[in-house]
Amino acid sequence: MRSIDIHAHLTPQCFWRATENGGDWHTIRREKDARGMEQAIVGDRRQSLPPRARWTPQERLADMDSLGVDVHVVSPYVGFYNYHLDTAVALATSRATNDEISELVRTWPKRFAGLGPVPMQDVKAATTELERCITQLGLKGVEINDHVNGRTLETAEFRMFWRAAEQLGAVVFFHQGGETLVTPRANRYHLPNTIGNLVDRAVTFATLVHGGVIDAHPDLKLVLGHGGGYTCYGIGRMDHGWQVRAEAREHIAQPPSAYLRKFYYDCIVYTEPALRFLIDTVGVDRVVFGTDWPYDMALDWPVAWILGMKTLTQQEKEAILSKNLERLLGI
C-alpha cells in the first residue's frame, strides 16, 4: 500500500554548508549548546535542530524506506519562517529553501513533492514567491504559520495572498512556528508544543471561517497540521456561539461546522480513538497522512500505526495513507 507523507520537514543543506566554521546563512548562524546539540541562531532566537535535520537526501530516502514511506511532501523547517526578521532576509531564505526543495523534487520525482516557505510579513513579496513556487519551481504549495507576528490571517491585508493561492490551486499547509498563544502564559513543560500547537490550529480554522475567507475563496486547498488541533472537539461550542452571539455571525450565514469539510486534516492525533473521531467528524476523504519527520513529536512507526488500527477499514487506511493526497496534490 502506497504512503504519502504531507508533514515532513526540511532544514536545507545550503544552511548547513553556509554555517560551517562560524559562517552565516543570510544572517542566520549555528552553534552547539552545552550538550553538544546543534542550534540555529535566528535573530534573537535560539532553535534546536535534531540530528536527522542535517541528513542528506540519500540518508532521508533510506529512512523513508525503513519507515515504509514512499513519498515525502517536503515542507520547510518552521524555525526558518523568519517572519520576525527583515523581509529581505526572509525572502532570501525562502527563495534558497524553495530552490533546494525544487531540486530535490526534480532529482527524485517519484519520492518527493514540495511545499515552500514565503515571507508572510510582506504580503506582496509572499504572493510573488508563492507564484514562483507554483509556476516556475514545480512545488505544490506552501507551508505557513498560524499567524504573522501575532496577526491572524483573515484580515484584509492577506486577501491578496488568499486570492492568489486559490487561483493557482496551491495547497496551503498550516504548521505553528515560534510562539503560540500558550507560550506567554506557560513556556515550560513543552506546553507551547503539546497544547499551544493545537490551540493555534483551532484559532486558524475559526478566524478564517468567521472572517469570511472561506466564503470569499471557496476553492482554497487548506491543510491543518496535527489533526486541526482542537477544532473538531470544540466545533459544537463554536456553533453555539454562532447561534447566540451576533458578532459570531457578522461575516458568515452558516454555522462553523458547515465549513469543516473545506479543510483537510493530517492524522497526527496520537491515539486511535482520536483519529476515529476526526474521521467521523470531517469524513475520511478529508484526512491525510503526516508524520512530523524528523522531530521528536513524530510517531516511531507511522505507517504501521495506521495499518494496525482495528477501527479503520482497509478503504479508510488507503484513503488516509495515499488516495486523498494523490487527489489533492495531483500525484
Query: What are the extents of the domains in the chain?
Result: 4-11+56-329
Q: Are 320 and 267 in contact (CB under 8 A)?
A: yes
pTM for the model stands at: 0.97
CB 141 within 8 A of CB 221: yes
> What's 308's DSSP letter?
T
Q: What is the pLDDT of residues 139-158, one digit of tens each?
A: 999 999 999 999 999 999 99
Torsion over CA: 287, 322, 330, 82 (sign): positive
Residues of the chain scoring pLDDT < 70: none
Torsion angle in degrees (nearest 10) through CA of 199, 201, 203, 209: -150
Report the pLDDT value the prediction gives residue 33, as an integer from 0 to 100: 87
**pLDDT tens-digit map of 48-77:** 999 999 999 999 999 999 999 999 999 999
CA distances, 270 to each of 194, 297, 317 (Å): 11, 10, 15
CATH classification of 4-11+56-329, choosing from 2.102.10.10, 3.20.20.140, 2.60.120.1440, 3.40.1180.10? 3.20.20.140
Q: For position 256, what pLDDT does the model report?
A: 98
The residue with cell 526558518 is 80
Chain position carrying cell 518527493? 112
Percentage of the chain with pLDDT > 90? 95
Note if the bond before 76 is cis, omega within 30 degrees: no
pLDDT, residue 36, reads 86
The whole-angstrom distance between residue 304's C-alpha and the CA centroid of its chain comes to 22
Query: Measured between alpha carbons, how far is 172 from 152 in angstroms, rounded to an integer?
Result: 15
